[in-house]
Amino acid sequence: MQLLPVMEGLHSAEAFNPAFLEAFFRRAREVENRPLEFSEALRGRIIATIFAEPSTRTRLSFESAAHRLGASVISVTDPKTTSGAKGETLADMTKVIGSYCDLLVLRHPSDGASRLASLHAGVPVVNGGDGRLGHPTQTLVDLYTLYRKWGDFEGRTVALMGDLRNGRTARSLAWGLALLGARILLLPGKGLDWEASFERRILDKFDYRLRWGKHPLFAEWTGSSEARVLEPKGLVQKSLFREDPPEIDKLDAIYLTRMQAERGADVGSGGYPGLTPENLKNPLMESCQILHPLPRCQELPASIDHDPRALYFEQAAMGPIVRQVVFLAMLGEDKWPLPSLAPLPAGSREHDLGLCPNEGCVTRSEGIQAPWRVVGLARRTFLCSYCDSLLPVDYAGCRSTHRVHPVHSQAALRISPENLRPFLRRDEATDAGYTWGG
């Protein structure tokens, strides 16, 4: 059985590549500076927006982007008004709505929902935020906001602060920043750090290394003066080898996120990290751009709104511009082409690994088996194709030879992805007709 076809549309920041981002930023500049040139670009096209979670900025900026390009919009803003409330599956709903439109934007509470929808919609699907997994168009907004200030990301240090465990915008942005060569400083709230497997994928994919850095201000935010830093190998900064861990003496940007209480986030009595006007007087923050995907809570006081370093309302204003470029890339590719996104395979359901371990995965809510995909060159890592959760695999079989090997062995690494068959236990492989090694 071959791996299923790639998923059409934009579902993850993992699909970005440097050539795409560089061209995307240039096109966004064109749209921002010469909006009238694009005002009829998608005349006659219909864009559907389906928002099964509350949204203000994302939904309205997508719909504003469509109107600015001359497209028509049909919308679902309350899942209680759809046939989903009657038990209709996401697959059926998107298959029907896909027949009414040329492109579908989906926000959904389940991780990986847009990927599942893309296999049934028949039109490109754009992820408007799914569960805690990711928000790729918000990452394009965030990156473009910084691009307008910097032009280049290499050597920049960007801190991600707040709820990294449940904050989909921070996860997507981390992937984008690593792709552009930035250093990433992690300042999670207590008990709100992301899982190690996600961080390991960033380190492996981009040949990054994990280091620690320190600054007294970190203790005010997280309770510890030390923080993890993800950075390109070979990147050297002033005091890097003079002390361990080195002092972080400058932040180029800080990205705050609110606590995602709707996903069960809770820091108890430990407090939640955030900025104060006093923080901005610290030399660490002297030239630090402040971003936030909004809405905000106590972590970002209104008293700093007029500080020239506060970019979050400018960031929000970039939403329609960036999403116009997304629509042009998907529906106007003949006239406004961009380099291709990296394909995400839809994966294979041939396995006996059981349910996806992520209870928030769309496969759980839809009652279907989780397909798998494989990543990594130096090691085999099996992920749920929809929600990217790590699947428990200890043995890798080869479908052409019907031999099975330890998943991290050299023999397993030589098996092409489309020829793999994952197993949790050796006896399961034997029962399936596979023989050991050799």
The CA distance from 52 to 74, in Å, is 14
Active-site residue, selected from the candidate residues 58, 145, 363, 381: 58
The CA distance from 286 to 279, in Å, is 10
DSSP count for the chain of H helices, then E strands = 13, 19
Active-site residue, selected from the candidate residues 11, 59, 132, 135: 135
135 is catalytic: yes
The CA distance from 102 to 122, in Å, is 9
Average pLDDT over residues 264-283: 82
27 is catalytic: no
Of 19-23, 144-148, 270-274, 286-290, the range with the lowest mean pLDDT is 270-274
Active-site residue, selected from the candidate residues 34, 80, 86, 335: 86
177 with 199: CB under 8 angstroms?
no
- Position 346 scores a pLDDT of 80
- pLDDT digit string (tens) for 226-247? 999 999 987 655 544 456 788 8
- The Cα-based distances of 198 to 142, 202, 204, 250, 282 in angstroms read 20, 7, 10, 26, 32
- Position 241 scores a pLDDT of 47
- Position 236 scores a pLDDT of 59
The CA distance from 192 to 357, in Å, is 19
DSSP code, position 303: G
Q: Phi and psi of 161, rounded to 5°?
A: -125, 140
Q: How confident is the model at residue 212 (pLDDT cuts 50, 70, 90)?
A: very high
Active-site residue, selected from the candidate residues 27, 68, 107, 258: 107
Tokens matching residue 314: 């400018």
58 is catalytic: yes
205 is catalytic: no
The CA distance from 388 to 197, in Å, is 10
Mean pLDDT over each residue of the chain, to the nearest integer: 90
- Position 242 scores a pLDDT of 54
Q: How confident is the model at residue 299 (pLDDT cuts 50, 70, 90)?
A: confident
Beta carbons within 8 Å of 109's beta carbon, 6+ residues apart: 52, 53, 130, 131, 360
3-state SS assignment for residue 346: strand
- The Cα-based distances of 27 to 22, 275, 380 in angstroms read 9, 33, 37
294 with 57: CB under 8 angstroms?
yes
- Mode of pairing for the β-strands spanning 125-130 and 183-188: unpaired
- Position 54 scores a pLDDT of 81
pLDDT at 82 over 60: yes
The CA distance from 104 to 106, in Å, is 6
- Mode of pairing for the β-strands spanning 157-162 and 253-256: parallel
Active-site residue, selected from the candidate residues 57, 263, 296, 349: 57
E runs forming strands in 233-380: 253-256, 289-291, 345-347, 372-375
